[in-house]
Structure 1
Amino acid sequence: MQGIRQQLNATAGGASTGWFRPAGLRTIFGIDLRTLALFRILLGFYLLADICLRLRDLTAHYTDQGIMPRAVQMDYLSLGSYSLHLANGSALFQGVLFAIAAVAAMMMIIGWKTRIAVIASWILLISVQNRNTFILSGEDNLAVLLTFWAMFLPLGARYSVDAALDPDSDKADNRYFSIATLALLVQGMSMYFFSAMLKTDARWIPDGTAVYYALNLDYMVTPFGLWFRQFEPLLQALTYYVYWLELIGPILIFSPFFHRSLRILFMCAFITMHLGFLLCLEIGLFPVVSIIMNLTFLPGSVWDGLAERLARRRSEALAIWYDRDCMFCLKACRILRMFLFLGNTPIRPAQDDPPIGRLLEDNNSWVVSNTDGNFMKWQAMRQLVRGSPVLRPLATTMGARPIVWLGDRSYDLVAANRAGLAGISDRLLPWRTIPRRAGWATNCLAGVFLVFITVQNVSTLPGANWTLPERLVIARQSLGLFQYWTMFAPHPELTSPWPVIEGRLTDGTVVDVYSAKRGNADTSRPDVVSSVYENYRWRKFLSNLEDQSYLPVRQFLALNYARYLCRAWSVANPDGAQLATFSIIFNVEFTPPPGVPRVVEEREVWLHDCFG
């Protein structure tokens, strides 16, 4: 009986919560350091992907030659907003800032100078978003918020260069709690809870037709979504599922009872919901960044189980030997051990073992030993990879003769310049200790901002008849803490627009300006309307241009877009006839109730004369 009680009271990560004992606040609102490392790596990759996707339209979206010259954008920035990207309108300047942001994202991924990298990423992310606010979506808002809260957390405490350079990293407990961990988790669930509270239209409850309407927004539905929407009874069930998941999930995921099971259950439920969005809707990287946010709920018990499996796959006899007088060598060994998942594989001075020490001196090489013997230079690296429980398959390729030759030459080059590399490592890779606890200042700031975002979210609810004071609006815009989760709220959109732009050249030739080709524009409905748009940011801009609720802003959008089209035609056809006049028209398809025929309306948005 005593053994059964002990089993029932066993918990994740050694915490004192069992099935019948409620979890404490530190367990409910804490985050495992290994989960924070995963969050850092995935957020870094997201930022890198975001940069690459934006680079496709560097000139069109971020320079004075594009759709949003700086003078126009600055007229529409909110109080408190800033943008380094507005300092210069050239493509070269924008490219440099994008490159700096990419470097910061890569520093986050490997965990080198992590806090500096996160702060730089946050500043540059706000900056690039404020450079062109008419192409933004909920994805951008959530990404800034996650990066903001990341600044308060020890993201480099595990699986990072910073952790490898912390002499005490192996002794630290994986459980971590601070006001910032509470804030990050509450921020993530606030997105769902307040979105559900804003879904007040009958299409959600009681009708259950919201998913039907969402999947009939042809201008953002994928081919899979077009096929899937034929199952109308399933769409109704999914409507109820999404609504109640968003309303109840954020509460039960913090339940002190059955804490671990409910946390994993609802985390997986939210992730699968976003995978469904990814399959059915062209909404950019919003599902990806949402999944990253949900993975912050991954409990330590998952990592403990994974660590046990990896430990069984590691070579127990593996050991790394370095020159005691070379601190650069020790740092390199610790970094390799970290990124090869080698756990507590011993790293020892070669001088402690006379035979190993002689090998090091005679070959001017580090030594890796295992049950097969002692290995030097590139073969030592290969044995480390072979001993890795994750990267082991790469060891076979590393044994190819050209790679061995190149590896040995590279090692000799490093060994010959060890003194210089030691000086560089002292500056760039100093030994440092990662704080084990958040300081009082960090906790206080995180607490203030947590109250701030909660107040904002409450102010968005129906019936809240108050708005933020101007000073708080300025603070919100400066920090990127905007909260208004209107994802398909109060109901999904009911119209799907797609552009048709026909014009004439100076020689009278009729051209399809939107497709940049000669001949009449095709006005027929495309089979996949979403394919008309080059990407989701162009769709956001053009749908804003068509949106009648944007008056009078949309006339400025249309004017600058038209000017951009004139310039783009001139650049693409420098020696031919130039674009003279054209009209921007949108075919707007209205989503009917189930069983009712569709109606398409033609809206002329703008007439333009490139020489007028």
Structure 2
Amino acid sequence: MLPKLPGLQNPFALDLRALALLRIATGAVVLTDLAIRSTDLEAHYTNLGVLPLHVLFQFCWNPYEFSLHTSSGLWAVQAMWFGLAALAAVAVLLGYKTRWATALSWLLLISLQNRNPLIVQGGDDLLRMLLFWGLFLPWGRVYSLDSHRQPLPSSYRYISAATVAYVVQLALVYWCTALLKNSPEWNHDGTAIYYALSLDQILMPLGRWLYPHAELLRGLTLLTYYTELLLPFLLFLPFRTAWWRLLFVGVLYAFHLGISLTLFVGLFYLINMASVLGLLPPSVLSRLAHWLRPRWTRLAARTHAWRSAWARWQPIQVSVQGRTAPTGSRRPLRHLRDVAVSVLLVYICWWNLDTLPQFRWKMAEPVRWFGYLFRVDQRWGMFAPAVFKDDGWFIMEGTTATGQRLDLNRSGRPVSYAKPASVVALFKNDRWRKYTENYLFVTNSYMRPYYCNYLLRIWHQNPAHPPLRQLEVVYMKEISLPDYQVARPTREVLCSCAPK
């Protein structure tokens, strides 16, 4: 903790209402993630899909990991785990049995991510860590069903080792992202965003509009790099902390909103926008509560239960004297928890530093078991160290008994090797985009026959579809070249399969 000197403030002091908003947003994102994943429950999580259990254990499994979802390859069992995860996420959102609900939601999220690591992206690591640190934060103290059974807090101001960990975790995300981008295209040439927007697999409409403006892209590249590198320092300034935090949140909201409009990144931007809500200063939260009061009152007037609930949402005088002292019986437990969180934070900082090529004191392999088991392992290498140059699109080329060639990736239309108007539109969601990205790597060649056979089986399930005697997974590879040069696409057959 910082000493109480005139004009200095503790940069790790957070508002209980902000933590509650962080909890609500995290629960909502987990529910959204489950809803999207559930549309591919058979394809991504059962033995009839693209990653049967025996393939997962043979090629993708870390012996320190665990997954309840690997208890069975049946659709019904996966649906049961999804339903339980959704209930836990709703409980987190509403703040019902918050600590237990957070633990269960975190456990089931780890289990889900471990079941199919081929569709996991960087935002999933952050979502997992939000729930992990939420285990130690009092984010159910207000704006929750639990708070109805508790006295009003004497102060919304809260400081603990967990608030330090939360703030440091946010800083690590952006610092490590920037430090891993150690190629000239990020910090010297300024061509990284040009190459990112050259990837038709993730190009969105705003990105297409920005793409022709080379000087603008160079400026945006350098702005992105130095924003990620320098912005986190604002979180540790011990003066005018409310103003700096508001600037931090505002810049990141604009930053991630811009990413979502230019690049197809799935829930990545929503997870990052949710993650910074715990930094909102008291002045903003008081104004928000004042704006919501009349609207809530109109709803609360309908029933006595709702009127009682509103009493727990009333703004109170924000104290700057520190958090309420714990009772004597709980003080040792809180100290023990703070010590445990401090040790965890040191471990996680070490893990993050270990991912940087500039760091010399590498983590020994025997020490990593904890990170794998509790999934506090993390790497923030988005477009790092450089942007991929291999671009292209998939053609699922099926050949009928009469020799007709159909593209299963475009609802069975006749095969065309011309680039689609929108390559992004070929993906059902970002999970499939991530899967096909991993599908390209030679080290993941074991994936290829399972995807090919899955597509073939799904096609033949519809009696209206003509039978196929062969299916080829074709990748039209198009290398991104500098200075708006256009490469000629080359046809690569990644896999071929036939009905058994």
Deviation per residue, 1:304-349 (Å, 9 max, x gap): 3444556689989x99998xxxxxx7xx7533544xx5669xxxxx
Q: Classify the secondary structure of the residue corresponding to 1:587.
A: strand
Residue of 397, 406, 415 corresponding to 1:502: 397
Q: Counterpart of 2:430?
A: 536
Which structure has the larger Rg?
1
- Tell me, in whole angstroms, the C-alpha distance in 2 between the residues paired with 1:101 and 1:593: 46
1:239 aligns with 2:239: no
Q: Counterpart of 1:383?
A: none
- Tell me, in whole angstroms, the C-alpha distance in 1 between the residues paired with 2:251 and 2:71: 44
Residue of 559, 565, 576 corresponding to 2:455: 565
Unmatched runs of 5 consecutive residues or more in structure 2: 317-329
Whether the 8 Å CA contact 1:41–1:108 is kept in 2: the answer is yes
Residue of 441, 455, 464 corresponding to 2:350: 455
Q: Classify the secondary structure of the residue corresponding to 1:439.
A: helix
- Tell me, in whole angstroms, the C-alpha distance in 1 between the residues paired with 2:195 and 2:331: 49
Deviation per residue, 1:537-557 (Å, 9 max, x gap): 11111121113xxx23x2210
Deviation per residue, 1:470-513 (Å, 9 max, x gap): 33322111111112111111122112221112122356543323
Whether the 8 Å CA contact 1:457–1:484 is kept in 2: the answer is yes
Question: TM-score, with normalisation over the residues of structure 2?
Answer: 0.90
Q: Counterpart of 1:292?
A: 274
- Tell me, in whole angstroms, the C-alpha distance in 2 between the residues paired with 1:515 and 1:308: 51
Equivalent position amino acid for 2:187 in 1: I
Deviation per residue, 1:430-486 (Å, 9 max, x gap): xxxxx8997122112211110011101111112435643333322111111112111
- Tell me, in whole angstroms, the C-alpha distance in 2 between the residues paired with 1:507 and 1:249: 61
Q: Classify the secondary structure of the residue corresponding to 1:526.
A: coil
Equivalent position amino acid for 1:63 in 2: T
Q: Counterpart of 1:39?
A: 22
1:334 aligns with 2:311: no
- Tell me, in whole angstroms, the C-alpha distance in 2 between the residues paired with 1:595 and 1:284: 27
Over 3 Å counting, the alpha-carbon distance change for 1:451 and 1:527 in structure 2 is same
The structural deviation recorded for 1:103 is 0.7
1:512 aligns with 2:407: yes
Q: Classify the secondary structure of the residue corresponding to 1:204.
A: helix
RMSD of aligned Cα (Å):
2.7
- Tell me, in whole angstroms, the C-alpha distance in 2 between the residues paired with 1:577 and 1:309: 60
- Tell me, in whole angstroms, the C-alpha distance in 2 between the residues paired with 1:437 and 1:32: 23
Residue of 466, 469, 483 corresponding to 1:594: 483
Whether the 8 Å CA contact 1:201–1:491 is kept in 2: the answer is yes
Over 3 Å counting, the alpha-carbon distance change for 1:516 and 1:173 in structure 2 is same
Q: Counterpart of 2:259?
A: 277
- Tell me, in whole angstroms, the C-alpha distance in 1 between the residues paired with 2:167 and 2:3: 21
Q: Counterpart of 2:496?
A: 607
Residue of 61, 66, 80 corresponding to 1:82: 66
Whether the 8 Å CA contact 2:456–2:471 is kept in 1: the answer is no
- Tell me, in whole angstroms, the C-alpha distance in 2 between the residues paired with 1:311 and 1:147: 29
1:101 aligns with 2:85: yes
- Tell me, in whole angstroms, the C-alpha distance in 2 between the residues paired with 1:272 and 1:137: 21
Q: Classify the secondary structure of the residue corresponding to 1:155.
A: coil
Unmatched runs of 5 consecutive residues or more in structure 1: 1-14, 323-328, 345-434
Deviation per residue, 1:526-546 (Å, 9 max, x gap): 111111222111111112111
Equivalent position amino acid for 1:569 in 2: W
Most deviating of 595-604 and 198-207: 595-604
The structural deviation recorded for 1:104 is 0.7
The structural deviation recorded for 1:194 is 1.0
Residue of 16, 21, 26 corresponding to 2:7: 21
Equivalent position amino acid for 1:65 in 2: L
1:202 aligns with 2:184: yes
Equivalent position amino acid for 2:388 in 1: E
- Tell me, in whole angstroms, the C-alpha distance in 1 between the residues paired with 2:220 and 2:242: 26
- Tell me, in whole angstroms, the C-alpha distance in 1 between the residues paired with 2:301 and 2:395: 67
Residue of 566, 576, 583 corresponding to 2:472: 583
Deviation per residue, 1:183-216 (Å, 9 max, x gap): 0111111010011111111111211111211122
Over 3 Å counting, the alpha-carbon distance change for 1:528 and 1:93 in structure 2 is same
Q: Classify the secondary structure of the residue corresponding to 1:447.
A: helix
Whether the 8 Å CA contact 1:516–1:569 is kept in 2: the answer is no
Equivalent position amino acid for 1:290 in 2: N
The structural deviation recorded for 1:127 is 0.6
Q: Counterpart of 1:62?
A: 45
Equivalent position amino acid for 1:36 in 2: L
The structural deviation recorded for 1:164 is 1.0
Alignment of 1:413-432 (within 5 A): none
Q: Classify the secondary structure of the residue corresponding to 1:257.
A: coil
Equivalent position amino acid for 2:353 in 1: V
Equivalent position amino acid for 1:497 in 2: G
Most deviating of 197-206 and 587-596: 587-596
Q: Classify the secondary structure of the residue corresponding to 2:11.
A: helix
- Tell me, in whole angstroms, the C-alpha distance in 2 between the residues paired with 1:486 and 1:578: 43
Over 3 Å counting, the alpha-carbon distance change for 1:436 and 1:539 in structure 2 is farther
- Tell me, in whole angstroms, the C-alpha distance in 2 between the residues paired with 1:460 and 1:253: 22
Equivalent position amino acid for 2:40 in 1: D
- Tell me, in whole angstroms, the C-alpha distance in 1 between the residues paired with 2:67 and 2:108: 8
Q: Classify the secondary structure of the residue corresponding to 1:64.
A: coil
Q: Counterpart of 1:393?
A: none
The structural deviation recorded for 1:596 is 2.3
Equivalent position amino acid for 2:276 in 1: N
Over 3 Å counting, the alpha-carbon distance change for 1:172 and 1:579 in structure 2 is farther
- Tell me, in whole angstroms, the C-alpha distance in 2 between the residues paired with 1:44 and 1:321: 26
> Relative contact order, CA 8 A, sep 6+: which one is greater?
2
Equivalent position amino acid for 2:125 in 1: N
Q: Classify the secondary structure of the residue corresponding to 1:540.
A: helix
Residue of 31, 41, 56 corresponding to 1:48: 31
Equivalent position amino acid for 1:594 in 2: D
Whether the 8 Å CA contact 2:14–2:158 is kept in 1: the answer is yes
- Tell me, in whole angstroms, the C-alpha distance in 2 between the residues paired with 1:240 and 1:120: 41
Q: Counterpart of 2:193?
A: 211
Q: Counterpart of 1:492?
A: 387
Percent of paired sites with the same residue: 33
Deviation per residue, 1:246-274 (Å, 9 max, x gap): 11111122111332222211221112100
- Tell me, in whole angstroms, the C-alpha distance in 1 between the residues paired with 2:482 and 2:234: 34
- Tell me, in whole angstroms, the C-alpha distance in 1 between the residues paired with 2:332 and 2:34: 33
Q: Classify the secondary structure of the residue corresponding to 2:236.
A: coil
The structural deviation recorded for 1:598 is 3.5
- Tell me, in whole angstroms, the C-alpha distance in 2 between the residues paired with 1:163 and 1:234: 50
Over 3 Å counting, the alpha-carbon distance change for 1:162 and 1:603 in structure 2 is same
Over 3 Å counting, the alpha-carbon distance change for 1:534 and 1:171 in structure 2 is closer
- Tell me, in whole angstroms, the C-alpha distance in 1 between the residues paired with 2:86 and 2:194: 39
Equivalent position amino acid for 1:209 in 2: T
Over 3 Å counting, the alpha-carbon distance change for 1:506 and 1:473 in structure 2 is farther
Number of equivalenced pairs: 484
Over 3 Å counting, the alpha-carbon distance change for 1:567 and 1:436 in structure 2 is farther
Whether the 8 Å CA contact 2:297–2:310 is kept in 1: the answer is no
1:185 aligns with 2:167: yes
Residue of 86, 107, 116 corresponding to 1:123: 107
Q: Counterpart of 1:155?
A: 139
